[in-house]
Amino acid sequence: MQLSDALSLIREIPDFPIPGILFKDITPLLGDAQALSAVTDSLVGDATSYTHVLGIEARGFILGTAISIRGEKGFIPLRKAGKLPHTTISKSYGLEYGSDVIEAHTDALSRGTRVLIVDDVLATGGTLIAAIEIAQELGAEIAEVVVLLEIAALGGRARIEEKFPNILVRAIVVD
Catalytic, out of 11, 57, 59, 150: 59
Question: CB-hemisphere CA count at 13 Å for 61?
Answer: 6
Contact pick of 6, 7, 10, 76 for a copy of itself (by CB under 8 A): 76
CB-based contacts of 173: which residues, under 8 Å, 6+ apart? 7, 10, 148, 149, 150
Contact between 75 and a copy of itself (CB under 8 A)?
Answer: yes
Return the H-helix or E-strand segment holding 118: strand 114-122
- Note if 133 is an active site residue: no
The residue range among 53-61, 92-100, 118-126, 133-141 that interacts with a copy of itself, by the rule CB under 8 A, is 53-61
Residue 149 burial (CB count, 10 A): 18
Residue 54, strand partner residues:
76, 117
**81-110 footprint of a copy of itself as x/- string (CB under 8 A):** -xxxxx------------------x--x--
Residue type, 163: K
What CA–CA distances, in Å, run from 12 to 7, 21, 77, 157? 12, 10, 27, 22
- Note if 59 is an active site residue: yes
What is the smallest separation between the CB atom of 46 and a copy of itself, expressed in angstroms? 16
Contact pick of 69, 81, 101, 158 for a copy of itself (by CB under 8 A): 69
- For 114-125, letters b (16+ CB in 10 Å) and e give bbbbbbbbbbbb
Contact between 40 and a copy of itself (CB under 8 A)?
Answer: yes
Contact between 65 and a copy of itself (CB under 8 A)?
Answer: yes
Catalytic, out of 11, 70, 96, 150: 96
Separation of alpha carbons 129 and 138, rounded Å: 14
| Binding residues for a copy of itself (CB under 8 A) | 11, 13, 16-17, 23, 25, 27, 30-33, 35-37, 40, 52, 55, 57-59, 61-66, 68-70, 72-77, 79, 82-86, 105, 108
Q: Which residues are catalytic?
A: 59, 96
